[in-house]
Chains A and B, each alone.
Chain A
């Protein structure tokens, strides 16, 4: 390493990147940078590393979502337990209460931006306000995105790819309408206010627990990983008995039929691993596994024939790594893949 010490190289690489990030970057600068990169592989690897980290910084925007003030939130903002997250509450309220007219919103923002003490007082007021009225908020995710949102009552919802739900919080109950897709709910305990998820013909009622609900055309799936939830028909009608689902239950509802499977909680949790970017299959038909991948990706996999569709697969996969999945399939199964930019077709040889 005669091209300078590691620290010197890193400092230089950071300087280049910071300079390039500014407005005055010229062709001559670019040429000088390329020359520097070409001079030593050590330069290039240091540069790549910092560039990647800086690009990751873009994801800070996800953290910034909902934070309406200028400048960063106080340290530890994202670590604070939900119930002490006054800001979170403020954000939720701001998001939901601001009417479409921009006027009140900007006044609201200004009010919130005053002194910290004032914020405390205001938030106490708003907190009470939240308790006495209905707050609504709509959440949704794009294809390929997963997002965790606080609901303002201390509960959290993690939305899977291409999912949407409406949240209504009132003094008597917390109501979530799952419009499409799937969401995991971490429900804050509040015996006085049941947490109800509406999913078409069924309702799932919880007090303080963790469960997920998935709504597909014609099928509903409920996975409970903590506590107990009650599954009942939408209007509490007497013709459908309600069932109690303890942790480890996986209920599938299709048409009027309801099938409940009990499994170890750890197994049930594996069904929710998409939250961490993973898909879990165990003796799953290729048809179902592919459908799972397609929930998350724009480039769809198509299974061309019934024989291939019936193959059984297992394992953990990253849902954003379709290529690895397909590669492994080709290696281990009688399947051939035809790959183009739009889609991947799997067929028996």
Chain B
């Protein structure tokens, strides 16, 4: 029952993540904060779409974002530094063709290569063996001489970083992922 809605969400909403993050970054001092808002926005959009599917997904996404930012500014009770500034959602809506990376062309592959190359070494290796050489997690573990549990952890991490790089594109600054990598690395250093 969820399948259709899930697909709609992936195809019509997630594709705009880079633009959304760029928009949120205008009002958020840190990328972490922008990602937190992003998650709240997704939740609201998904909930609303469960009742009635918006006919203009991208416009709906940015309207939700704008409302959330406005709420937040009201709550903060500080004079915000122009949460909207000169960055009106209408400007975001100009690129009416959905992001090219989703078209499956040359650009998409280039973008994917970049996202993949930004993974930490071990993680990159595990993702490659699992995704390209299609070894099972067990075989990846055997190949690299690590436990299956560790392979699983690398996959979980690879997935999150790929998502940030892939959806967030250039709006996800290097700094952010570097910090996150260190944190993850520490956790995996077991």
- Min CB distance, A243 to chain B, in Å? 30
Chain A: residues with Cβ within 8 Å of the partner, total of: 54
* The one of A23, A52, A76, A158 that contacts B10, using a Cβ cutoff of 8 Å: A52
Contact call A46/B131, Cβ cutoff below 8 A: no
Q: Please judge, given known A-B contacts A21-B137, A42-B43, whether A276 and B156 are in contact too, CB under 8 Å.
A: no
Interface membership of chain A positions 38-61, coded 1 if the CB is closer than 8 angstroms to chain B and 0 otherwise: 000110111011111110111111
Q: Please judge, given known A-B contacts A63-B112, A276-B103, A318-B97, whether A50 and B125 are in contact too, CB under 8 Å.
A: no
- Min CB distance, B54 to chain A, in Å? 15
Contact call B152/A19, Cβ cutoff below 8 A: yes
A residues near B163, Cβ cutoff 8 Å: 49-50, 52-54
Output the nearest chain B residue to A3 by Cβ-Cβ distance. Answer: B43
- Min CB distance, A298 to chain B, in Å? 15
A residues near B97, Cβ cutoff 8 Å: 278, 316, 318
Output the nearest chain A residue to B96 by Cβ-Cβ distance. Answer: A316
B residues near A46, Cβ cutoff 8 Å: 39, 42
Contact call A18/B131, Cβ cutoff below 8 A: no
B residues near A95, Cβ cutoff 8 Å: none
Chain B: residues with Cβ within 8 Å of the partner, total of: 57
Contact call B14/A49, Cβ cutoff below 8 A: yes
Contact call B116/A63, Cβ cutoff below 8 A: yes
Contact call B160/A11, Cβ cutoff below 8 A: yes
Contact call B137/A22, Cβ cutoff below 8 A: yes
Is B105 among interface residues, defined by CB-CB distance under 8 A? yes
Q: Please judge, given known A-B contacts A50-B163, A54-B159, whether A41 and B117 are in contact too, CB under 8 Å.
A: no
**Which residue numbers of B lie inside 8 Å of A, CB to CB?**
2, 6, 9-10, 14, 17, 35-36, 39-40, 42-43, 46-47, 97-98, 100, 103-110, 112-114, 116-117, 124-125, 127-133, 136-138, 143, 148, 151-153, 155-160, 162-163, 166-167
